[in-house]
Amino acid sequence: QAGNPESAALLERVEAKKLPGDFEAALPVFEAGKDVSTRAASGKVLNAIGPVMPELWGGSADLAESNNTTIEGSPSFIPTSRSTAAWKGNPYGRVLHFGIREHAAASIVNGISLHGRTRAFSGTFLIFSDYQRPAIRLGALMGVPSLYVWTHDSIGLGEDGPTHQPVEQLASLRAIPGLDVVRPGDANEVAAAWKAMLENHENPAGIVLTRQNIPTYARGTGVADGDTFGSTAGVEKGGYVLAEASKDGSTAEAQVILIGTGSEVQLAVNAREALQAEGIPTRVVSMPCVEWFNKQDAAYRDAVLPSVVKARVSVEAGLALGWKEFVGDAGRSISLEHFGASADYKRLFQEFGITAEAVAAAAKESLAGLTN
């Protein structure tokens, strides 16, 4: 300790399971108004925290460039003799190359997590989480804090077609006890999500990310009318008020609540604008992690989703399975109950009715059902 004070301090911090003191300062803040894919945002977060968190390492199942999982400038965990022009290796490398072995990647990360001290992640497309499922389940059963990076999270991946487009994966992963499924709604939610996942050492988590660019929202310290959206401090609670209901320029009691995740949060935000233009005060709730939200006390959950507001709509580009818990009998769900198709993502969302217009129409239908 006397001869190696920095290393001793690092060991003490890691064994205490604490993030570095300069962690939050290292997190990137993304410019409001600029469209960014959440996979790109995740890559920027990993590269920003990598220098201050040397215990973090990982890689991808042969999809590093798509998953944005490489901590740039870092050596690979391969023998020096196997180095290439692109990848320099040594026994202390932090870039893991799993190969096209998704199940093995998840199992390896479980083993690293069980060993302790370091934090490890593996990356692949969300659709290929199916190959990882036995290892993911065991990680959850053992209560190890493995980290999974899943990109290309919906029909939004587009032209790769239905074989690569997740439909049932979000619902099936949420069904695994002890697994946190985190689907951020914009770039700054990504940063907050990584922080929350790294603070947790009790169970595994998977972060679910878009291929396509989505809006980055102007954040305030709370929720205000107009163009200011709720602080990302609510991300760690799993669900929070992103945009409050208003009428005639002032905050109003919500008549309807729209709940979105990931790339579909923007549809809820746009539907809110249309509904409020018609005099219907509308609240938007971003729910990046159902598991985190369900861990909150009843008072917080009711503050976000007041039981008195029965008109609700969930919107997610996947099965509606599981959303009944939040929208109730009077609510509606905009979802995808069939496989996708090969086309540009904008065409697919339009053809399959996952649009702001559909969300607004469902909200009106939910409201009308209350009076009939």
Residues with a known catalytic role: 102
Sign of CA dihedral 346, 347, 351, 352: negative
CA nearest neighbour of 312 among 333, 325, 323, 327: 327
192 Cβ contact list (under 8 Å, min separation 6): 184, 232, 233, 235, 236
Count Cα neighbours of 23 within 13 Å in the Cβ-side half-sphere.
17
Sign of CA dihedral 196, 198, 203, 209: positive
> 3-state class of 279 per DSSP?
coil
Rounded to whole angstroms, the Cα distance separating 127 from 255 reads: 37
Rounded to whole angstroms, the Cα distance separating 132 from 104 reads: 8
204 contacts 140 by C-beta, under 8 angstroms: yes
DSSP character for 252?
-
Rounded to whole angstroms, the Cα distance separating 95 from 60 reads: 9
146 contacts 106 by C-beta, under 8 angstroms: yes
250 Cβ contact list (under 8 Å, min separation 6): 225
